[in-house]
């Protein structure tokens, strides 16, 4: 077992035209949490779903935080590199292309960090209720990588100004960002599923 190994689930593709997805759960989730969501938004995609390796009061996460909304940024960097190494190894093991990350909450935050720190690992990302993961990230070059950022208007955890700053940060790095604010809180809604499915369909069509 290598240092970059994560407990994970992998489900192979059933449709050659569907992009592989990297599913990244929120706090307290595990490798099974987002499999259903992945199948809803991109039927036929290969699904790679790791479990976060940090425990907070027994709940898996992808990196440590110091308080609600206050991240241990050294740990964010270290864990993003670990996750990037895992994805690279998993691509070789399972024979998949660079995946589109689908992250919720803590999983969306590590996906955003991965875009900024190891952009070649991902083909794009769907960031559900994400925050800015690093206060002073290095300048990334995202080369028009597609990113869908879905925020909740009534989200008690992610301030609107923070999600707007993340959208601006990724856009400045060259990503093709679509940012929508939904009439929702922190939890996901049917609108998230519909928008993510439509977006990933358009991304797959452009790639084809």
Residues with catalytic annotation? 105, 155, 186
Q: What is the DSSP string of 145-191?
A: -EEEEEEETT-SSS-HHHHHHHHHHHHHTT-EEEEEEES--SS--HH
Query: CA-based diameter of the chain, in Å?
Result: 44
Nearest to 104 by CA among 41, 17, 175, 146: 41
According to DSSP, the residues that pair with 8 across neighbouring strands are 50
Pairing of strands 59-61, 21-24: unpaired
DSSP letter for 21, please.
Answer: E
Q: Are 110 and 78 in contact (CB under 8 A)?
A: no
| φ/ψ (deg, to 5) at 151 | -115, 160
The distance of Cα 48 from the centroid of its chain, to the nearest Å, equals 12
Residue 118's CB is within 10 A of a number of other CB atoms, namely 17
Q: Distance (Å, rounded) from C-alpha 56 to C-alpha 54?
A: 7
């Amino acid at each position: 077992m290598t240092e970059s190994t994560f407990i994970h689930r992998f489900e192979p593709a059933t449709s050659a035209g569907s992009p592989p997805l990297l599913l990244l759960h929120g706090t307290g989730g595990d490798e099974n949490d987002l499999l259903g969501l992945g199948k809803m938004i991109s039927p036929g995609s290969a699904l790679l779903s790791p479990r976060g390796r940090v425990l907070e009061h027994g709940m898996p996460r992808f990196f440590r935080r110091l308080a609600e909304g206050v991240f241990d940024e050294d740990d964010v960097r270290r864990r993003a590199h670990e996750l990037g190494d895992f994805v690279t190894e998993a691509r070789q093991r399972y024979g998949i292309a660079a995946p589109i990350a689908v992250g919720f909450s803590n999983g969306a935050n590590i996906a955003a960090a991965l875009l900024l720190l190891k952009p070649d690992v991902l083909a794009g990302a769907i960031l559900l209720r994400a925050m800015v993961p690093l206060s002073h990230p290095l300048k990334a070059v995202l080369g028009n990588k597609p990113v869908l950022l879905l925020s909740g208007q009534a989200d008690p955890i992610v301030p609107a100004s923070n999600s707007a700053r993340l959208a601006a940060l990724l856009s400045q790095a060259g990503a093709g960002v679509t940012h929508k604010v939904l009439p929702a809180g922190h939890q996901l809604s049917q609108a998230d599923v519909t928008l993510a499915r439509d977006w990933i369909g358009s991304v797959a069509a452009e790639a084809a």
